[in-house]
């Protein structure tokens, strides 16, 4: 993670924290709002 710019590093940390609380972090272009595995989804931008 050391070679990332601060924004990329922050996004990774946020994604990790969201996943820890049960959110499904998905790529913005392939988001599946009907994923039955999790009631909560968080589309992420590239």
Tens digit of pLDDT for each residue in 16-44? 998 888 887 777 777 777 765 655 556 66
Residue ranges per domain, the chain? 6-44
Q: Which two tokens stand for residue 14?
A: 């946020």
> For residue 40, what pLDDT is reported?
57
Helix (H, G, I), strand (E, B) or coil at 41: strand
| pTM beyond 0.75 | no
Handedness of CA 33, 18, 44, 12 (dihedral sign): negative
pLDDT of residue 6: 92
């Amino acid at each position: 993670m050391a070679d990332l710019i601060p924004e990329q590093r922050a996004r990774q940390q946020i994604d990790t924290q969201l996943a820890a609380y049960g959110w499904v972090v998905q790529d913005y272009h392939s988001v599946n709002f009907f994923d039955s595995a999790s009631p909560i989804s968080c589309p992420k931008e590239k």
